[in-house]
Amino acid sequence: MNRRTFIQALALSGIGSVLVAESFARGFVGLFDRLASPEYSGIEHSSVDWKPLGKELDFGQIDVYKEKKHIDRVSLVRFNPKHNQIRVFNSFRDSKVGNAYTIEEWQRKTSASVLINSAQYMADPFWYPCALMVCDGKRVGPTKNKAVSGMLVAEPKNEERKASLLDFRYDSNNFSDYQQGVQHWPILLDRSGEIRVGKSDWQANRTAVAECRDGSMLFLTTEGGFFTLHNLGRFLKEANLEIKTAMPMDGGYEAEMLVRTDGFSYTTYGQFETQGRRFDISIPNARCPIPSVIGVFPR
């Protein structure tokens, strides 16, 4: 079984519908049931209205329009790593086979304030990471993957800077001092402003991590499936978010975000994916279990 067939079967096994934040997305379930064309033209977006959730931890959303039609929404969590800790969780290290959980099950297991899905994984062996992860100092997954272009790192042993997004074109790939990490590919947007992924018509829900120029971190997930990877890089460049470097996590059905803080609750699951404009394999109300997540916790 190839990976996409495997993941489709997982997504279809979910029960229930997508949950939405009461104060931000009420009334928008089903809004993105038809994908706009992938051409990046006539694109406009709203500004971000940040909602404080904790000490230098904020949630916001950006509505995206194509020729005045609402086509997608980007949900963002912005946080200062000095006051909010990143931890990486992967179920494969628990056994030789591993397991997968919905993002809500992951939250119950970890008690994280914020969770997003992590990097890609294999169907054979089940749940094995495609690239290296570091979970509380323990390395999980292959030591090398030629496709890797960057790494989210956090919790160094001796450095004051608590988290960063390394771009291996510019930064050393020495991450031995970090207790948490996720390697992936490609770099969407780099510090020179270059979008480092080619154009395509492959649209899907997207998740990405980013480091901002002021040292804050961004986790983001789309509720709809308009963006190709290239177009997401272009959007992040134009959205006035002061992003230094951005890198995607797994996309499609696995693109998920959960936020649980006092007085605020938000969950979104990926439902959209195409393999070219003529092959739409989107699954309404999909809830795909995932073997790894990245969490944010107050210090």
Average model confidence (pLDDT) for the chain? 90
State percent of the chain over pLDDT 70. Answer: 89
- Of all helices (H) and strands (E), which one includes residue 229? helix 229-238
Position 160 confidence tier, pLDDT thresholds 50, 70, 90: confident
Q: Is the pLDDT of residue 176 over 60?
A: yes
Q: Stretch 144-158: mean pLDDT, rounded?
A: 95
Asked if residues 38 and 277 have their Cβ atoms less than 8 Å apart, the reply is yes
Asked if residues 123 and 296 have their Cβ atoms less than 8 Å apart, the reply is no
Q: Stretch 198-214: mean pLDDT, rounded?
A: 97
Q: Is the pLDDT of residue 25 over 80?
A: no
State percent of the chain over pLDDT 90. Answer: 78
Position 94 confidence tier, pLDDT thresholds 50, 70, 90: low
Residue 8's pLDDT is 72
Q: Stretch 177-181: mean pLDDT, rounded?
A: 96
- Give the residue, 115 or 2, on which the prediction is more confident: 115
Residue 195's pLDDT is 98
Q: Is the pLDDT of residue 23 over 60?
A: no
Cα angle value 238/239/245 (rounded, 5°) = 80
Q: Is the pLDDT of residue 20 over 50?
A: no
Position 31 confidence tier, pLDDT thresholds 50, 70, 90: low
d(CA 187, CA 151): 9
Asked if residues 131 and 184 have their Cβ atoms less than 8 Å apart, the reply is yes
Q: Is the pLDDT of residue 28 over 60?
A: no
Describe the strand order of the beta sheet including 257-261 as a list of residue ranges.
Answer: 84-90, 292-298, 114-117, 257-261, 264-268
Q: What are the extents of the domains in the chain? A: 3-298
Q: Is the pLDDT of residue 86 over 90?
A: yes
Q: Is 68 left (phi over 0), alpha (psi -120 to 50) or beta?
A: left
Q: Is the pLDDT of residue 276 over 50?
A: yes
Residue 129's pLDDT is 93
- Give the residue, 179 or 7, on which the prediction is more confident: 179
d(CA 296, CA 191): 24
- Give the residue, 168 or 97, on which the prediction is more confident: 168
Q: Is the pLDDT of residue 47 over 50?
A: yes
Q: Is the pLDDT of residue 29 over 60?
A: no
